[in-house]
Structure 1
């Protein structure tokens, strides 16, 4: 494989590793928010921000952790025939099927960017009592989608290398 492909794969894997490890800690933030919500409910002081903040934290958790999950190959796979195939056949099938994921992520990224631009232009806010701005979580979603698309491209390069008998 060309040097720039190897560098791309190394760079994307390193970035998604670090972002994924960071996003693991967002689960603790989510637990803290939900604990605070429970404690304040006991004292009849409802914090109006906790439900929505928990939702935003959960979105950040799975959008930023998704590429790391894909990198570790811990995603769910329909395995009727896959386990019976050789490594080379699996790499061929993965190299072709990753295009469906890349197309989906491309459409999702396009829509996410359009929606984020709209949110920034019009200072879109949530229609709840707390009324937080929506743009920050949309930016996180776009970043997560971009990282997922980059990781899918990295996996494609790894599969092509495996078909050629190389390892990246």
Structure 2
């Protein structure tokens, strides 16, 4: 199991680096959006290329951050149901979900997307919009993102099995710190309290 845990750690490091790198795309997307809106307001003109690059960057953020989100155990769950299970029960459910839902879905998307990317690259596909961008790079994000998601699924599977064998701590355990939502609510409450003084 030790080599598999080493593989899991390597996958985690790769997806953490990719996910944190993709965070910067949000800033870039915001700057492009603001620049395009400003240009449109001042010159009463717009660029399809700038609009499309925003969509491409959004796709990149979504696809490249999904594996990192899975790693951090932040995907949507039905907490009312999952909260009733023991850590072992939740690990078993995660194993079943990964084997029978996540990995088959990822393999299907990879199977279907690779020919689309290959054909787009072969014909050097461009957007049909005037001033539009080349399409294959954004299409290539689909198999890349799902490959990284498949790898993270394997990593999570390894961690759940290791946990059930008593080799590692509960991978579903949350750190004892407020969630992002709780931090935001506390900041809003503090601001309101400050305004009231």
Sort the TM-score into its range (normalised by shorter chain). Answer: over 0.9
C-alpha distance in 1, partners of 2:97/2:46? 48
Deviations 1:101-132 (A, max 9, x none): 11001101111111111111111111111232
The number of residues matched between the two structures is: 167
Corresponding residue for residue 110 of structure 2: 109
Corresponding residue for residue 57 of structure 1: 57
Corresponding residue for residue 13 of structure 2: 14
Q: Please report the RMSD computed on the Cα atoms of aligned residues, expressed in angstroms.
A: 1.2
Corresponding residue for residue 90 of structure 2: 90
C-alpha distance in 2, partners of 1:107/1:77? 22
Q: Which runs of 5+ in 1 are unaligned?
A: none
Corresponding residue for residue 25 of structure 1: 24
Q: How many Å apart are 1:30 and its aligned residue? A: 0.7
Q: Which stretch of the first structure deviates more once superposed, 102-111 or 122-131? A: 122-131
C-alpha distance in 2, partners of 1:45/1:125? 22
Determine if contact 2:117/2:140 at 8 Å carries over to the other structure.
yes
TM-score, length basis structure 2? 0.81
Determine if contact 1:112/1:141 at 8 Å carries over to the other structure.
yes
Determine if contact 1:40/1:47 at 8 Å carries over to the other structure.
no
Q: Which stretch of the first structure deviates more once superposed, 154-163 or 74-83? A: 74-83
C-alpha distance in 1, partners of 2:167/2:130? 56
Deviations 1:30-73 (A, max 9, x none): 10111011111112132231211110010001111111111001
Tell me whether 1:124 sits opposite 2:125 in the alignment.
yes
Q: Which runs of 5+ in 2 are unaligned?
A: 170-197
C-alpha distance in 1, partners of 2:131/2:3? 47
TM-score, length basis structure 1? 0.94
Corresponding residue for residue 167 of structure 1: 168
Deviations 1:13-43 (A, max 9, x none): 0000000000111110110111011111112
Structure having the higher Rg: 2
Tell me whether 1:76 sits opposite 2:76 in the alignment.
yes
Secondary structure of the equivalent of 1:76?
Answer: coil
Displacement over 6 Å in runs of 4+: none
Q: How many Å apart are 1:141 and its aligned residue? A: 2.1
